[in-house]
Chain A
Amino acid sequence: MSEKILEVNHLKKSFGENEVLKDIHLNVNIGEVISIIGSSGSGKSTLLRSINLLEKPDGGEIIFKGKNVLSKGYNLPKYRTHLGMVFQSFNLFNNMNALDNIIVGQTTVLKRSHADAKKEANENLKKVGMESFANAKPSQLSGGQKQRIAIARALSMNPDVLLFDEPTSALDPEMVGEVLKTIKELAKVHMTMIIVTHEMEFAREVSDRVIFMDQGVIAEQGPPEQIFENPKEARTREFLQRFLK
Chain B
Amino acid sequence: MRLVKKKITIAVLLMMLSSIFLFPLSVFGAEKEDMANGEFIVGMEAAYPPFNWTQSDDSNGAVLIQGSNQYANGYDVAVAKDLAKTLDKKLVIVKTAWDGLLPALTSGKIDAIVAGMSPTDERKEQIDFSNNYYTSNLVMMVRSDGDFASAKSIDDFTGAKITAQLGTFHYTVIPQIPEVQQQQAMQNFSAMRVALESAIIDGYVTERPEGVTAQKANSHFKMVEFSQDGGFQTSEEDTAIAVGVRKGDPNLAAINEYLNNFSVDEQNALMDKEIGFQPMSDDEHQAWYRQIAAIAMENADLFIRGAGMTLFISLIGTIVGTLIGLLIGVFRTIPESENKFLAFIYRIISFLVTAYIEIFRGTPMIVQAMVLYYGTALAFGLNLDRTIAALLIVSINTGAYMSEIVRGGIFSVDIGQFEAAQAIGMTHRQTMIKVVLPQVIRNILPATGNEFVINIKDTSVLSVISVSELFFQGSTVSQQNFMYFQTFAIICVIYFVLTFTITRILRFVETKLDGPDAYVPISNQMQVE
Question: Which of B38-46, B427-435, B504-512 lies at the interface?
Answer: B427-435
> With an 8 A cutoff between CB atoms, is B519 at the interface?
yes
The answer to whether B424 touches A81 (Cβ under 8 A) is: yes
Considering only residues 137-156 of chain A, those with a C-beta below 8 Å from chain B are: 137, 139-141, 150, 153-154
B525 to chain A, nearest CB (A): 10
Q: State in angstroms the CA–CA spacing of A66 and B156 once bound together.
A: 104
Contact with A along B414-431 (1 / 0, CB 8 A): 101101111111110010
The answer to whether B528 touches A134 (Cβ under 8 A) is: yes
Inter-chain contacts of B181 with A (CB < 8 A): none
Q: State in angstroms the CA–CA spacing of A182 and B522 once bound together.
A: 21
Inter-chain contacts of A47 with B (CB < 8 A): none
Q: State in angstroms the CA–CA spacing of A125 and B528 once bound together.
A: 11
Considering only residues 464-515 of chain B, those with a C-beta below 8 Å from chain A are: 515
Inter-chain contacts of A90 with B (CB < 8 A): 416
Contact of A91 among B420, B515, B524 (CB under 8 A): B420
The answer to whether B519 touches A77 (Cβ under 8 A) is: no
The answer to whether B438 touches A52 (Cβ under 8 A) is: no
Main secondary structure of the interface of B (DSSP, over half): loop
- Say yes or no: A133-B519 contact (C-beta < 8 A), given A80-B424, A81-B424, A157-B424: yes
Inter-chain contacts of B515 with A (CB < 8 A): 137
The answer to whether B521 touches A133 (Cβ under 8 A) is: yes
The answer to whether B419 touches A80 (Cβ under 8 A) is: no
The answer to whether B518 touches A140 (Cβ under 8 A) is: yes
The answer to whether B517 touches A140 (Cβ under 8 A) is: yes
- Say yes or no: A131-B527 contact (C-beta < 8 A), given A95-B439, A108-B434: yes
The answer to whether A91 touches B416 (Cβ under 8 A) is: yes
The answer to whether B434 touches A104 (Cβ under 8 A) is: yes
The answer to whether A77 touches B425 (Cβ under 8 A) is: yes
Among A79, A95, A135, A139, max chain B CB count under 10 A is at A95
> With an 8 A cutoff between CB atoms, is A26 at the interface?
no
Smallest Cβ-Cβ distance to B433: which chain A residue: A108
The answer to whether B423 touches A80 (Cβ under 8 A) is: yes
B166 to chain A, nearest CB (A): 53
Smallest Cβ-Cβ distance to B420: which chain A residue: A91
The answer to whether A52 touches B522 (Cβ under 8 A) is: no
The answer to whether B425 touches A105 (Cβ under 8 A) is: yes
Smallest Cβ-Cβ distance to B428: which chain A residue: A77
The answer to whether B423 touches A52 (Cβ under 8 A) is: yes
Q: State in angstroms the CA–CA spacing of A78 and B528 once bound together.
A: 30
Inter-chain contacts of B6 with A (CB < 8 A): none
A54 to chain B, nearest CB (A): 6
Q: State in angstroms the CA–CA spacing of A48 and B527 once bound together.
A: 36
For the complex, count residues of B whose C-beta is within 8 A of A.
29
Inter-chain contacts of B290 with A (CB < 8 A): none
The answer to whether B420 touches A80 (Cβ under 8 A) is: no
Inter-chain contacts of A79 with B (CB < 8 A): 425
Inter-chain contacts of A137 with B (CB < 8 A): 515, 519
> With an 8 A cutoff between CB atoms, is B442 at the interface?
yes
Inter-chain contacts of B416 with A (CB < 8 A): 87, 89-91
- Say yes or no: A93-B521 contact (C-beta < 8 A), given A108-B426, A131-B527: no
Contact of B521 among A85, A91, A132 (CB under 8 A): A132
- Say yes or no: A109-B425 contact (C-beta < 8 A), given A94-B439, A136-B521: yes
The answer to whether A109 touches B426 (Cβ under 8 A) is: yes
> With an 8 A cutoff between CB atoms, is A195 at the interface?
no
Inter-chain contacts of A83 with B (CB < 8 A): 423
> With an 8 A cutoff between CB atoms, is A122 at the interface?
yes
Q: State in angstroms the CA–CA spacing of A94 and B518 once bound together.
A: 15
Contact of B430 among A108, A122, A134, A140 (CB under 8 A): A108
The answer to whether B435 touches A95 (Cβ under 8 A) is: yes
Q: State in angstroms the CA–CA spacing of A185 and B417 once bound together.
A: 26
The answer to whether A87 touches B435 (Cβ under 8 A) is: no
Contact with B along A60-87 (1 / 0, CB 8 A): 0000000000000000011111011101
Inter-chain contacts of B524 with A (CB < 8 A): 132
- Say yes or no: A136-B519 contact (C-beta < 8 A), given A91-B419, A95-B442, A122-B528: yes
> With an 8 A cutoff between CB atoms, is B523 at the interface?
yes
Smallest Cβ-Cβ distance to A109: which chain B residue: B425
The answer to whether B425 touches A157 (Cβ under 8 A) is: yes
Contact of A109 among B420, B424, B435, B439 (CB under 8 A): B424
Q: Which 8 A-B pairs have the closest CB atoms?
A: A140-B519, A91-B420, A91-B416, A105-B424, A81-B425, A85-B423, A132-B521, A136-B519
- Provide 14 A-B residue pairs closer than 8 Å at the C-beta atoms, listed in order of the A residue: A77-B426, A80-B422, A80-B423, A80-B424, A91-B417, A93-B417, A95-B442, A105-B421, A108-B426, A109-B430, A132-B521, A133-B519, A137-B519, A140-B519
Residues on A facing B (Cβ under 8 Å): 52, 54, 77-81, 83-85, 87, 89-95, 99, 104-105, 108-110, 122, 125, 131-137, 139-141, 150, 153-154, 157
Residues on B facing A (Cβ under 8 Å): 413-414, 416-417, 419-427, 430, 434-435, 438-439, 442, 515, 517-519, 521-524, 527-528
